Structure 1
């Protein structure tokens, strides 16, 4: 099955309403009075002022008194109500305090206190990242009643930066490690997330944050990735999305697959917005030792549209990629001043399954215990789903069952050996490909299994559309902790190509 066939099959299944019986309706009760306060003309004026604005522009409008955090939050809540519910299914839960938080931030601004460039901007959080007072479910029925008692460190950092947490976003259930027959963007609690650009695969597992950001339901969003779960939905929804170097962002209070590869990352409509959001997410967490890598990390002070001038970019595109699209990508590099160097990349053999099974056997139960979840073992999850399989696991749970299988148990020693081998093979393959070039460029999540095992950063940026209108992105890959340079490279490509397609007119 080629990519177009795969995408069409996924989109067909995502269009189905067959398995939406447990989808939780969004609660707009706390916002009804505010949403009723504007007439159609007022709403149109608000949309004209705010939609498709960059984060910097929205911040400038607030600084100049033309816009408030409350008005921005209210507009995004209205768009969620009118566009998303039961249609795109990108939002799983709303923060009932969102408008109150926005009003408090407006009062701070009026008093001369501006926390950061994120002050008064809205963020949606993937529903495997803890937000105090909201559910944290991974989209699973067994965690339907699980409410986070504390923020994940990255969420606490966003609040400290003055961001308005709008709510939680839908995802592929258990971040796409539930069944081999998975539907990207589907969870039993959220239903199927859908692509706003048309009947195309939405991508997964950070599907909800991607669709919501593309639809202008938020300023930007935070997703997670183990292998492709940020980059693929970013590419499918024409976004700028970074899978950061392992260790830049704390993973504490995030429902895991495996500590070897899990990371959160920023999802935005532009590279500049992505960089702004990343600045609030990066940080050393003493309780997550791998984040020592974040100490001393610096984002570029300014973004440079000439950052690719004279740079050599190793181009790794599939053999069946349409020649006219390949030419378009290479022309984009040339327009940015880069030299395209065609490369052949042989992917190393990696034991990704063993690493992920170990994570589900060890890391997931540890999270559930620490979070005070209603279940604390994989066996309880599988048994719960099996009791009412048609509702709780309509597409099966073969991967969860595999992780529970006595013959598939992965010892700590076997895990460490597999993780080390994966890391060495992945870094060896990427470092070899990087010899003689400054960056690698691939299609969408084509190299996700390799860069994720290496812990290297990857950044996707819109590059065009297939003949049927389906968006695609190209993904820049660089060495460990080269995130700042990667952002500059992607920004230069974005500015030279301006390839992000407009949404359908009715959205």
Structure 2
């Protein structure tokens, strides 16, 4: 890709050093992570999870060994490549932005650095965060190619934060940052067997993050434990004058790690969204086991009868089209230098001129729809209705009427085979769109495995209830009895 890399090790010795102990559960030296990336991401299984390495990452081992006292001192973190960092291009996976070096840190990245984190590099993603066209394959981008799932390299890594999920599962960093509009943190976390947390929209700044939706976008942590995700969130969260959505964030800041180690499910009322669990026997069996684990931990289980109104998703799409056109036009217009496109129309023209590289596998139908999405009245009406269905008639109503502390459902099904020709094969499992559209917190925690493929369990609650969701998720994490899968770095059928 033309990005700097550490010196390539011999494949045989690197694999022997890299494979044991996945996923990594404690921070290791940057050098160790870089060797592992070389051995597994660039050659061997070729996960394609990492799109760029910080040119100074190889020199960070001294800082790691110095033992600084900051909360994230020595912790190596990978950043999804739609989030700006001052020392690497920010591409959104598109060849149109392969030279997009802004020299800026997004505020959340600045927060991580201030907390002592080592920014190791950038992760691959679904190009334009999976908002370009029909029949896309999760984890594919023109810049980074196809990301693969460490548990089965012929299976999908899911969601636009595919590289972040795969990288954490493969032990390429202590943790990673993803972004979500609807499912792009939680789905890749689930199918890659890691913890993913989509916070309340407005808790984390979106400044200098390539946008889809001003209503729904947020960044969030992806890690191997709830405690690690909460530690990352501490460094990321806070108000940002440049992002009006974060105006109330400082009022809701707490130490998100506080109480996690002692968190209990005793007396916690768990709302079970049974109809959102799908009909795959393996997933249903895991879900029942998770509920049984929570009962043994003395949680109170409340079965909830909920049917999703199709109008919610229909109107969400109207909102996303309108907000994407406005957001991407503003972002491209603000870029320094001379990018090949300054608005959405320019991106469409660029892709058409580079069709062999960009449009071989799927098109840009969504881009073209967004270009025509200029009806402000239709947008406002769709936003009002989708928000009502997700909030007042959705999560708020379900929690209030059933007197529950949290809602649960399987996050999604196990990973499907990668199919560049036909695209993704989602199975309709999960209720994450409720939290995505509402802008409410959504945590996924590994629940177990189906035929060696990870499946996550979702925890959702109301606006600004992030700390509560994390505590309940951590308590479940300790109560879980199911065996978790381990990455194989082979095809699923081998």
In the superposition, the TM-score normalised over structure 2's length comes to: 0.86
CA deviations on 1:471-502 (whole Å, 9 max, x unpaired) are: 11110000111110101100111111154624
| Displacement of 1:300 | 4.4
Question: CA separation in 2, counterparts of 1:158 and 1:305?
Answer: 26
Q: Is the counterpart of residue 160 in structure 1 residue 119 in structure 2? A: no
Compared with structure 1, are the counterparts of its residues 369 and 88 closer, same or farther at alpha carbon in structure 2 (3 Å cutoff)? same
CA contact (8 A) 2:287 2:410 kept: no
CA contact (8 A) 2:79 2:123 kept: yes
Q: Is the counterpart of residue 72 in structure 1 residue 72 in structure 2? A: no
| Displacement of 1:279 | 0.8
CA contact (8 A) 1:427 1:454 kept: yes
CA contact (8 A) 1:125 1:222 kept: yes
CA contact (8 A) 2:159 2:187 kept: yes
State which of 37, 47, 55 in structure 2 corresponds to 1:88.
Answer: 47
Compared with structure 1, are the counterparts of its residues 504 and 208 closer, same or farther at alpha carbon in structure 2 (3 Å cutoff)? closer
Q: Is the counterpart of residue 228 in structure 1 residue 215 in structure 2? A: no
Match of 1:129 in 2: 83
State which of 455, 460, 463 in structure 1 corresponds to 2:444.
Answer: 460
Say which is worse superposed, 180-189 or 197-206, in terms of deviation: 197-206
Q: Secondary structure at the match of 2:306?
A: coil
Match of 1:343 in 2: 304
Compared with structure 1, are the counterparts of its residues 498 and 278 closer, same or farther at alpha carbon in structure 2 (3 Å cutoff)? farther
CA contact (8 A) 2:23 2:486 kept: no
Match of 1:396 in 2: 363
State which of 200, 203, 207 in structure 1 corresponds to 2:158.
Answer: 203
Unaligned stretches of 5+ residues in structure 1 = 1-23, 59-70
CA contact (8 A) 1:54 1:273 kept: no
Where in structure 2 are the equivalents of 1:327-476 lying within 5 Å?
327-348=288-309, 349-350=311-312, 351-372=315-336, 373-394=339-360, 395-405=362-372, 408-411=373-376, 413-428=377-392, 429-435=394-400, 436-444=403-411, 446-466=430-450, 468-476=451-459
Question: CA separation in 2, counterparts of 1:166 and 1:420?
Answer: 41
CA deviations on 1:178-211 (whole Å, 9 max, x unpaired) are: 1121101110111111111114321111000000
Compared with structure 1, are the counterparts of its residues 40 and 161 closer, same or farther at alpha carbon in structure 2 (3 Å cutoff)? same
Compared with structure 1, are the counterparts of its residues 238 and 51 closer, same or farther at alpha carbon in structure 2 (3 Å cutoff)? closer
CA deviations on 1:404-424 (whole Å, 9 max, x unpaired) are: 23xx4232x433332232222
CA contact (8 A) 1:245 1:455 kept: yes
By relative contact order (CA 8 Å, sep 6+), the higher-ranking structure is: 2
Where in structure 2 are the equivalents of 1:17-96 lying within 5 Å?
24=1, 26-28=3-5, 31-32=6-7, 44=17, 52-55=23-26, 58=27, 72-85=29-42, 87-96=46-55
Q: Secondary structure at the match of 1:165?
A: strand
Question: CA separation in 1, counterparts of 2:295 and 2:369?
Answer: 47
CA deviations on 1:141-181 (whole Å, 9 max, x unpaired) are: 11111112210000011111110101100000100101121
| Displacement of 1:294 | 1.6
CA contact (8 A) 1:47 1:75 kept: no
State which of 287, 290, 295 in structure 2 corresponds to 1:326.
Answer: 287
Question: CA separation in 2, counterparts of 1:249 and 1:430?
Answer: 21
Match of 1:12 in 2: none
**Aligned residues between the structures:** 454
Q: Secondary structure at the match of 1:54?
A: coil
Compared with structure 1, are the counterparts of its residues 302 and 102 closer, same or farther at alpha carbon in structure 2 (3 Å cutoff)? farther
| Displacement of 1:36 | 6.7
Match of 1:274 in 2: 229
| Displacement of 1:214 | 0.3
| Displacement of 1:293 | 2.5
Q: Which has the higher helix share?
A: 1
CA contact (8 A) 1:457 1:483 kept: yes
| Displacement of 1:438 | 1.2
Question: CA separation in 1, counterparts of 2:483 and 2:25?
Answer: 13
Question: CA separation in 1, counterparts of 2:330 and 2:171?
Answer: 36
Match of 1:138 in 2: 92
| Displacement of 1:366 | 0.4
CA contact (8 A) 1:200 1:470 kept: no
| Displacement of 1:450 | 1.7
